[in-house]
C-alpha cells in the first residue's frame, strides 16, 4: 500500500504556450504551481493551487481533478480523493489514469476488492494505458488477503469484517442453535420451493452456515441469502464453484469481467443482505469461521498430476492466475482469519485456562465448499473427479484454528464423521502427508440438492449432530 502511494504522481502536461514562456508563465499558472508543490511534497499548497485552477476555464478539468485526488490521497483524505477521481472519470471515461485514481482511493478506504472490480471495468474501456491498469490490478490481488475491509480480520478495528466479528460476542450461547446446509442450488430442481416450507419464526435466535453452491448467478445468490436471513439471526456463507461461474447466457457475463470481480461483488451483496463472508463470534465463545477454498489436483492420491479435463470452465480468472493455482490464492484469502486465536482470546477474556468440563468452553465451527480431507466421500467412479473436489492444504488451516466441526459441501454426499490423524506438511518435499497426532475435528456435510436438509451442529450448550425438519425439530 505504501508503495502505491509513494508512486502517486500528477499529470504535468501543459499547452505549448505555457511551457514556452518559462518561469514567468509558471509563476502565473496555478496548475503549474500545484504541480511544483506536489513534486516538492507540499501537498497542502498543491491542494490550494489545484482548487483555484478548477475555477479557471483554461485548465483541463479532468486532469486537475485527478491531480487534486492524488493530493487528497497523499494527505489520507480518502473520501475526498475518491470524489475527485470519480468526477475526473465522468469527464474522461476512457482515461486510464482516472480509473487508477478511483482504484487508489478505494484502496485507501480499505475496499480493495471493489477497487479491483473498478479496474477490471476500466481495462475493458481504455485502449491506452492498459498496462498501468493491469499493474494496479496485480498489486491489488496481492494486498486483498490482508488489507481488504471485507476479507481481512486485521485490516482495521473499524473495518466491516472486524465490526461484524464482535457484534454478537455477548449474545447468550444458551439461546443459540447453529445449523448448516450446503449446495442449495436455488435456481435448480425446484429448490426455491423448499423455502416455502421453512419456518419463518423458529430460527430467530439461531445461526446458519451455508457451505457454498447457492446459485449459478448473482441474482440467485441474492434471492437465497434474503430468504435465509429473514429466518435466521445470523447467516454465513462461503462461495462454491457454481457461485463464481460467469455463464455467457446470463447477465453476470455483462457485469463481471472475471470470477475475482464476482467474488468482490458477492461481498457487497452479502452486506446488502446482512449476511457474512467473514468470521464472527456469534454468541459467547461460539465462533463461525468461513474459509475460502478451491480444489488442488494433488488431492488425487492415485495420480497427483493435472488431468486432461478442465472443470468449471464457466469460471474466468485473472490473466496472471492459472486455474491450476487458484487454490493457492484462495488459501491466502484466509490468512488473517486462520492466524487469529479464537479459543485463546476467549479464554483470556474469561481470565483463565479452558477446561473441557466447563459449560463456557469455546467452540469453533469452520466451513468451506471443497473437501479438506481425502478420506471424505466423493464420487470415486467419475473420471478425474478427485482432482476437482478438495484441497489437503486447507486442512492445515482448519487445524491451525482448532476447529471442533468443519462443514463442507460440493459432493452432495452427506456425512458426519471423524477421520484419522492430522495432516502435516513434509519439510523436505512440501507434500501433505499424515502425521502421528490424532485429528479431533468432526467433518460434516448436509447438501440440500443431495436430498439433505438443515443439520444442527450446536444447541442446549453442547455440540450436536442432528438433522431437523422445516420447523427445526429433530428428525
With cut-offs at 50, 70 and 90, classify the pLDDT of residue 353: low
Which of 348-352, 367-371, 389-393 is predicted with the least confidence, judged by mean pLDDT?
A: 348-352
- The residue among 350, 437, 367 whose CA lies nearest residue 408 is 367
What percent of the chain is modeled with pLDDT above 90? 81
Question: What is the number of helices (H) and of strands (E) in the chain?
Answer: 18, 13
Beta-ladder partners of 207: 178, 234
Rounded alpha-carbon distances, angstroms, from residue 26 to 30, 59, 61: 8, 13, 18
309 vs 200, 382, 383, CA distance in Å? 43, 12, 9
Pairing relation of β-strands 415-418 and 432-438? Answer: unpaired
Give the SS3 label for residue 217: coil
Element (H, E) at 425: strand 421-425
| More confident position, 127 or 14 | 127
In angstroms, the CA 31 to CA 63 distance is: 10
The mean per-residue pLDDT over the stretch 330-338 comes to 96
Provide, rounded to the nearest whole percent, the portion of the chain with pLDDT above 70: 92
pLDDT tens, position by position, 261-275? 999 999 999 999 999
Residue 244 is predicted with a pLDDT of: 98
Alpha helices for 274-408 (secondary structure H): 326-333, 335-339, 342-350, 392-400
pLDDT at residue 1 greater than cutoff 60: no
Per-residue pLDDT of 371-425, as tens digits, reads 999 999 999 888 899 999 999 999 999 999 999 999 999 999 999 999 999 999 9
- How far, CA to CA in Å, does 235 sit from each of 227, 280, 290? 10, 11, 11
What is the average per-residue pLDDT within 346-362? 69
Q: Is the dihedral of CA 152, 154, 157, 163 positive or negative?
A: positive
According to the model, what pLDDT value does residue 347 have?
A: 81
Predicted confidence at residue 349, as pLDDT, reads 80
pLDDT per residue as tens digits for the range 224-260: 999 999 999 999 999 999 999 999 999 999 999 999 9
Residue 359 has pLDDT above 80, yes or no: no
For helices 30-40 and 43-53, what crossing angle results, to 10°? Answer: 160
Residue 190: per-residue pLDDT: 86
> 32 CB contacts (<8 Å, ≥6 apart)?
12, 14, 18, 25, 26
Weakest mean pLDDT among 40-44, 62-66, 379-383: 379-383
Q: Is the pLDDT of residue 356 over 60?
A: no
In whole angstroms, give the CA distance from residue 89 to residue 66. Answer: 9
Asked if residue 355 has pLDDT above 90, the reply is no
Cα separations in angstroms, 420 against 85, 169, 431, 437, 438:
55, 33, 18, 9, 6
- The closest alpha carbon to 244, from 320, 307, 327, 180, belongs to 327
* Residue 2 scores a pLDDT above 50: no
Q: In this predicted structure, which of 81-95, 100-114, 357-371 has the lowest mean pLDDT?
A: 357-371
Looking at per-residue confidence, does 25 or 43 come out higher? 43
Could you report the per-residue pLDDT of 159-201, keeping only the tens digit for each? 788 889 999 999 999 999 999 999 999 998 889 999 989 999 9
**What mean pLDDT is predicted for residues 322-349?**
93
* Alpha carbon of residue 357 to chain centroid: 36
For residue range 427-459, list pLDDT tens digits in order.
Answer: 888 899 999 999 999 999 999 987 889 999 999
Amino acid at each position: 500500500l505504501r508503495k502505491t502511494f509513494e508512486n502517486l504522481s500528477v499529470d504535468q502536461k501543459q499547452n505549448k504556450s505555457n511551457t514556452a514562456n518559462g518561469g514567468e508563465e509558471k509563476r502565473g499558472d496555478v496548475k503549474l504551481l500545484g504541480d511544483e508543490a506536489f513534486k516538492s511534497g507540499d501537498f497542502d499548497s498543491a491542494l490550494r493551487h489545484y482548487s483555484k485552477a478548477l475555477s479557471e476555464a483554461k485548465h483541463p478539468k479532468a486532469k486537475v481533478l485527478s491531480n487534486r485526488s492524488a493530493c487528497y490521497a497523499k494527505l489520507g483524505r480518502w473520501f475526498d480523493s475518491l470524489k475527485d477521481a470519480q468526477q475526473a472519470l465522468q469527464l474522461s471515461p476512457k482515461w486510464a489514469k482516472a480509473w487508477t485514481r478511483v482504484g487508489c482511493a478505494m484502496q485507501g478506504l480499505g475496499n480493495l476488492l471493489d477497487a479491483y472490480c473498478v479496474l477490471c471495468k476500466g481495462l475493458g474501456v481504455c485502449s491506452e494505458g492498459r498496462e498501468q491498469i493491469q499493474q494496479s490490478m496485480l498489486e491489488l490481488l496481492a494486498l486483498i488477503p490482508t488489507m481488504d475491509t471485507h476479507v481481512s480480520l486485521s485490516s482495521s478495528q473499524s473495518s466491516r469484517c472486524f465490526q461484524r466479528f464482535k457484534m454478537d460476542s455477548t449474545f447468550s450461547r444458551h439461546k443459540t442453535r447453529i445449523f448448516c446446509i450446503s449446495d442449495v442450488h436455488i435456481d435448480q430442481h425446484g429448490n426455491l420451493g423448499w423455502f416455502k416450507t421453512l419456518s419463518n419464526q423458529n430460527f430467530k435466535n439461531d445461526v446458519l452456515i451455508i457451505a457454498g453452491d447457492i446459485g449459478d448467478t448473482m441474482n440467485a445468490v441474492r434471492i437465497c441469502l434474503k430468504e435465509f436471513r429473514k429466518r435466521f439471526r445470523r447467516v454465513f456463507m462461503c462461495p462454491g464453484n457454481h457461485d463464481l461461474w460467469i455463464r455467457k447466457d446470463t447477465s453476470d457475463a455483462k457485469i463481471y469481467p472475471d470470477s475475482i470481480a464476482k467474488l468482490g461483488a458477492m461481498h457487497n451483496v452479502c452486506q446488502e443482505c446482512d449476511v457474512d463472508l467473514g468470521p464472527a463470534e456469534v454468541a459467547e465463545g461460539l465462533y463461525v469461521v468461513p474459509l475460502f477454498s478451491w480444489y488442488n489436483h494433488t488431492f488425487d492420491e492415485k495420480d497427483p498430476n493435472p488431468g486432461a479435463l478442465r472443470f468449471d470452465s464457466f469460471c474466468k480468472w485473472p490473466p496472471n492466475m492459472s486455474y491450476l493455482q487458484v487454490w493457492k490464492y484462495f488459501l491466502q484469502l484466509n490468512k488473517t482469519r486462520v492466524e487469529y486465536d479464537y479459543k485463546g482470546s476467549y479464554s483470556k477474556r474469561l481470565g483463565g485456562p479452558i477446561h473441557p468440563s466447563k459449560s463456557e468452553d469455546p467452540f469453533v465451527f469452520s466451513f468451506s465448499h471443497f473437501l479438506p480431507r481425502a478420506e471424505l466421500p466423493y464420487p470415486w467412479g467419475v473420471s478425474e473427479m478427485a482432482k476437482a473436489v478438495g484441497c489437503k492444504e486447507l486442512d492445515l488451516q482448519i487445524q491451525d484454528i482448532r476447529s471442533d466441526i468443519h462443514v463442507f459441501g460440493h459432493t452432495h454426499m452427506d456425512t458426519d464423521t471423524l477421520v484419522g490423524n492430522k495432516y502435516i506438511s513434509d519439510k523436505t518435499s512440501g507434500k501433505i502427508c499424515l502425521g502421528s497426532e490424532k485429528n479431533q475435528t468432526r467433518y460434516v456435510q448436509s447438501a440440500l440438492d443431495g436430498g439433505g436438509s438443515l443439520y444442527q451442529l450446536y444447541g442446549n450448550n453442547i455440540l450436536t449432530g442432528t438433522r431437523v425438519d422445516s420447523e427445526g425439530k429433530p428428525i
